[in-house]
Each structure stands twice: as C-alpha cells, then as structure tokens.
Amino acid sequence: MRPGDELAGKYVLQEVIGTGRGGDVWRAQDRWAGGDVALKPGQSPVGGAVPFEATLREPRTMSRFRDHPHVVTLLNVLEAPPDAPAGAGHWLVLEYVPGGGLDRGRPMTPGDAARVGAQLADALAALHESGIVHCDVKPANVGRDHRGAAKLLDFGAAYRFRDTQTVTVNGPFSFTPDYAAPEMARGHIPRPASDVFSLAATVHALVTGSRTEEAGESLRRWRAERGVIQVDTERVGPLAPVLEEMLRHDPGARPDAAEASRLLAAVADGEPASGPRTAGLSRPGSGPGPDATTGGVPRSPRGRWPLAVGAVGAAALLSGLLVMVAVNGADDGDEGPSGPAAGERGVVGEEGVVGDPRTADLCALLDVRELSQFGDTRVDTDFGNFDQCEVILNGEGEGRSRVDVSLQVRPGAPPETSGTTRTIGELAVVPGEPAADECRMTLVPPGAETEQRVLLLRATEEGDPVAGGGTALCNVAEAAARGVAAVLAEGAVPRLPAERAEESLVWESACGLVEREALATVPELVGDEPEVGLMEWSCEWADDDSGMEAKVSFHRDQPDSLPDGEWGPLNGYETLIAPENDPETCTAFVAYREYGGRDADTYAEMVRLYVKGPRAMDELCDGVTELATRVSGRLPPAG
C-alpha cells in the first residue's frame, strides 16, 4: 500500500497517520463525499484463518456508538483488497481525527485534561452500560476533533463481559503496562473499573507527558501488576483527589465511569471535586488531614505523598513519587480482610504469609533463645534495608568470633534447584552453594508461588574465621530456620509493634529516585534494565561486557558505624563518599533522617549508592558522587 492507491473506487490513500493491530492506519480522501477519513486495517484472528464474518466484532461494537459524541464514528466497513497487509480481513472507514492520538501532543493544563477525561469517561459509561470494557485506554487511543471534543479511537482490545462472546479473540487480554489496572496486568478478566483506572493514568499523562519511555519493559510490567503509577501531584493540582479515587487498587472502591465523568467535569469547571467517599488520606498515625471533609489530598511542598497499604488496613494513598495501590491486595481485586494490627501475630489470608513488607516484623521470626546457644545475641532491628533483620552472635573463648544471621524477604518465585530440598514443618528449605565463610538457604513459606515472596537466610562470619567454617555456620543457620518455621506454623509473619514513621523512606521508591539521565555518569549502564528489589527499595544495573555496576538502595545504620570517608552536603543532605576495601568499588551514603531505633540508639535512614568496575578509584568516586547528587535532588523533604 502506498500514497495514491485507491480503495473501493473512492478512498485515495494520502499518508500513514498511525499503526493499529492490523497494520498502518492511513489518512485517505473520499473522492465522492469530499473530506478526509481514516482507514484502519482490521486484523483477522489466527493469521487470517478465521472467516471474514468473525473479523467484524470490532466494527459491530463501534457501530453501537455511532452517535456518541466522544467515540470515533465508524463510517463504513470494506472487505480488504488482495494487496492489503497480511492478515487484514477488512478495512474500517473511520471519522478522521486530525493529529492522531494525544500521546503526540504537548502537555495539557489540569483543567483541559480534566475536560478530556470527563468526555472519555462519558464514552466509557456508554460502553460499560452495553457490557463492553475498552481494555486499552491510553493517550495514543484518544484524539480530539476539529471542535476540540475528545474521541475514543481504538476498540481492537475491547472485551464483552456480559456474555461469552468477546470482541477480541479468546486468549490473553491486550493492555499497555503503563496504563493498565493491576487486575488486568495480573491476568484477571477485565471489568469496567479497569477502564476507570486506565483513564486516570491517561489523564495524568496528558498533564505530565507520556509515560512510555520511563522504564524498561520488565519494570513497567512489574509496576503494572502492583498498580504502581508515578504521579506528579504539583502538576496535576486539583486533579489529585479525583485521580486518587480512580486509582484505588480495589476495583469496587473506584468510582464508576459516570461518577468519574462528574468528578472530572467538576475539576474542568473549577468546582471542588467532592464525591461520596470523603475519608481523609494519611500515613499511618497521622490522622485526618485538613482536606478530610472533601476527600482531598493535603498539599506537600515537593509533591511527595504518603504511601500506606496492606496489612495494617490503612488506605492506599496518592504519592507524589508513585501511587502503589495495595501491593498485596487480593488477586481478584475484591476487598480482602484487614490485616492484623501492629504487634499482632499474622493470620494467613489473601495477602499471603509475608503480607505487606512495610509492616512485617521479620525480627519476630528469629528465635533469639534458640540462637543464644552459639554465643551472646543482639537483635539489630534497624540495620540494612527495610526488607531484612539481623541478629549478631558474639562467641566466647578462643576460636569463636562474630557471626551475623540475617533474614531477608526476596521477591520472586522459589528458586529452581537440582539439589535436595527438605522441609521443617510446612517450610521448605533450599540450601545454597557451600562456602567457608557463609551458609545460606532459601526458606519457602506455603503459598510462595502465589505471593511471589521467599525468605533468604544467611549466617556469615565477620572478622576472624569461625571454628568449623561452613559447617559451623550452617548449624547456626539451621537453628534460625527452625525458629522461622515455628513462628510460621502459628500463622503469617507478625506485624511490627509500632507503625513506621510517616516521613520514613519505607514509603518511597529507590528506583524512582533515579532518572534515566542520572546513569550518564556510567555510560555503559545507560539503557540497561535494572534488577528491581522488593518494593522498589533497591535498583541495580550491570553491564557484563564492561564489568560496570551501579546500585541505589535504602539503608539504615548508626552514623558512627559507617566507614571512614569524606562528608559533605549534597542538595542539603550530608553525604559520605567512601572508597571500599574492594579496589573496584566506591560507595556513597546520603543521610536522610535520624531517628531512635527500637533499642533507643540513634540510627539514620540513608540512600546507599555504589559504582563498581575496572576503573581508577578517583573515577569511580566521581561517578558515585554525581549519581548521589542527582538522587539526593529527588528526595522528598525529610520533615
């Protein structure tokens, strides 16, 4: 197909204006009626093996809404000519929308985006009333006609939910990760509320810009499955409370499309966007804010918002860095039972054995009495990242030295192994590779395949070698594993005895602190897809060819325990640049806030960064300093 070709004796191809599932979408001139139309090839299922009649589901769906002002008008359906793209069973003749999708346009004001959103929500309400879910609402599938009216463009992914006939072919549902509702990203059947979530993500993107280039594919899908949406609350302004309602994790808690249209229209008209849900939003323990009566979200000077989800039964919040709505919510999207209160033993429910890592008390899994047979014990509840707990064993007498026992929650499925896997009660134990200075094992709780969480247990010698080497260390690890199994035999991981502070980094994303440009200090890593840790509390980049690595993670420690190095201010945060004993690593610690740990000592929450590779130490430290400068500039106010 090329410009000048003619279809049906009247449509003359002019130029390609986009790409659909069936191929290029063309602007064409109607020789008979005058004016332009859009010609979109329809894709025949299974490579064209399905009869022409079966390919008409999309146009028949669109024809129902021919008179709706905010659905692109279907003008005609043509059988595809012999030289049409492979698999095209027909062509849709559509109303031509100048400029194509809104993903190509400039950012809108919040009021303009709200007006577009209200019109799209009105169109979605009509679809939902007819039993159809659009499934792929995004800026690229939205246009505006010459009068400025918003138009929903593409129905190629639509799903019929009131009977067994689907508009698309049976199989995996089509969606775009950056805009998909979490229930869709997890493979559940689309529902009208899924469109409402996607519309909120779309409206946000219309104000702030398209989100499709912000991360690699696996990170985008990871975020989609957990309902992670990066939100710039300063730029969306009065849209914030409406988007919060529409982005709730529980589909049943979102407004329907008609209500979303009303709320968005109120913002467009400059009215308060109040609705039936008026509970104030806050971090744990903060109480209702000044906007609680209107369902609004309190302002923050840097656009950062609280995040409170999961096992403590707190509401999911709109975050200036991200909205991460109920990471551990029920997979089917229904409202599950509230988790145990702080300090209570967990009950295994739909959130799984680990539950919300933000409120999980991992130290409660380590039996200090069991470990005390190996020496004096001290539980360090405030060391390392938020995903771990550590017990320090100090031996007595000659030949006994310090051993650190750490328990860490790791994301992902249980590891595959060709070795022996045994059980302690219902806890599966997968041994790690033997080593003289460390014994590690992966503990797999019941339901780990579904929850996608396992526990990594390590016993590591610190300082002088341990008498008995790896065998002695594995005796320590075995005792710790028995303690974990005993606690989990009574239920889920217990909750923390006190709620996390609202200003804690536990509510933030380490990955979200790193802009793509920040990695320019290590050019070998630009474009590399990071390995994302639990809850985005760490992100790591590595290039096998050059041997260069970089990592950004959260870290807790006593300030006087940090390595020697040079302290200095970066964007108002005291920062330590410290070459490691490893000649190929330079590390930075950005001190975020100090607090009193559970043992009453003073601890600091930090961002820990390192750059590693076969370079001179000065070059590595220059790189990590530049990276720390960029990351510290994106930190929320410490309060």
Q: Write out the binding residues for ATP.
A: 40
Handedness of CA 503, 508, 510, 516 (dihedral sign): negative
Q: What is the spatial distance between Cα 402 and Cα 394, in angstroms, rounded to a whole number?
A: 5
Determine how many CB atoms are found less than 10 A away from the CB of residue 187: 10
Sequence-separated (6 or more) residues with CB below 8 Å from residue 454: 409, 410, 412, 413, 414, 415, 442, 443, 444, 445, 448
Phi and psi at 590, nearest 5°, equal -100, 110
CA distances 416 to 344, 375, 421, 444, 445, Å, are 33, 34, 10, 12, 15
The DSSP bridge pattern shows strands 602-612 and 531-532 to be: unpaired
Specify whether the CB–CB gap between 249 and 120 falls below 8 A: no
Quick one: 419 exposed, middle or buried, by C-beta within 10 A (0-12, 13-18, 19+)? exposed
Q: Which residues are annotated as a binding site?
A: 40
Q: What is the spatial distance between Cα 233 and Cα 224, in angstroms, rounded to a whole number?
A: 19
Specify whether the CB–CB gap between 131 and 191 falls below 8 A: no
End-to-end CA distance of the chain: 61
- The three-point CA angle 85-91-97 to 5° equals 110
Which tokens in the block code for residue 28? 């064409």
Specify whether the CB–CB gap between 30 and 113 falls below 8 A: no
Sequence-separated (6 or more) residues with CB below 8 Å from residue 493: 346, 353, 354, 355, 360, 361, 362, 364, 365, 487
Q: What is the spatial distance between Cα 491 and Cα 71, in angstroms, rounded to a whole number?
A: 51
Quick one: 491 exposed, middle or buried, by C-beta within 10 A (0-12, 13-18, 19+)? middle
Sequence-separated (6 or more) residues with CB below 8 Å from residue 466: 395, 400, 401, 403, 437, 472, 473
Of 298, 248, 300, 238, the C-alpha closest to 273 is 238
Specify whether the CB–CB gap between 528 and 546 falls below 8 A: no
Which tokens in the block code for residue 230? 């990066």
Sequence-separated (6 or more) residues with CB below 8 Å from residue 438: 458, 459, 460, 461, 470, 473
Beta bridge partner(s), residue 401: none
Q: What is the spatial distance between Cα 576 and Cα 569, in angstroms, rounded to a whole number?
A: 9
Instruction: Count CA atoms within 13 Å of residue 612 on its CB side.
Output: 18
Quick one: 526 exposed, middle or buried, by C-beta within 10 A (0-12, 13-18, 19+)? middle
